[in-house]
Amino acid sequence: MDDTPITSPTALPALRVAAQEAGFTMSCEERTGSLLAVLAAARPGGRVLELGTGVGEGTAWLLSGMDGASRLVTVELDAGVQAIAREQLGSDPRATFVTANAGQWLEEYDGEPFDLVFADTWPGKFTHLEQALDLVAPGGTYLIDDLLPQPDWPATHEAAVKRLLSELEGRPDFRSVRLAWSSGLVMAVRGTPERTSLS
């Protein structure tokens, strides 16, 4: 079966050109993007959080799945990189772009929880995991990517991935699944209080 996405966001070609021109190589892989669009579509009127805007490829996928009542907050440290996403996607009223350190943002955020959290940067995944998981609403989804080994990984990164998986999968309030697909994903769903009590 060919798992190449059949459709893609209209902004994607321009974002890819801009990423190449900027030398940005860490964009969301398209199969991950297609999953993001489906997860966003499953939450009509949902609240979505993206940690790590990059040039906006993942952002574009999320927006392509969201309905008109959904809202997205996307956080990025690098203002220059995020400027590309703002230029291509900033006119969409559903999206709020935040230029900040995602770890600090997670520490300071005191608003409503989110139905979908996509952690595509270090904070919210390898650091500040607890804070990110606390922002997942009951029945909501937490998704992380880039977990399959890569040639350019630092020597200590494999151990960091193993610690992350152990910590996440040890949470009794989340049901998680590993996906050895795309760049390597883990998807975790926060149980409702009723489901958690029955497990």
Instruction: Tell me which residue of 21, 32, 22, 102 sits closest to 60, measured CA to CA.
Output: 32
Rounded distance, CA 103 to CA 107, Å? 6
Q: List, for residues 75-114, the tens digit of each pLDDT value.
A: 999 999 999 999 999 999 999 999 999 999 999 999 999 9
SS3 label, residue 47: strand
pTM of the shown model: 0.94
Here the tokens at position 110 are: 């005191």
For the cut 90, the answer to whether the pLDDT of residue 199 exceeds it is no
Please report the pLDDT score of residue 195 as a whole number: 55
User: In degrees rounded to 5, what are phi and psi of residue 160?
Assistant: -65, -40
Band (pLDDT 50/70/90 cuts) for residue 197 is low
Rounded distance, CA 25 to CA 92, Å? 24
Instruction: Tell me which residue of 156, 152, 199, 137 sits closest to 25, measured CA to CA.
Output: 152
The more confident residue out of 149 and 129 is 129
What is the C-alpha R_g of the chain? 16
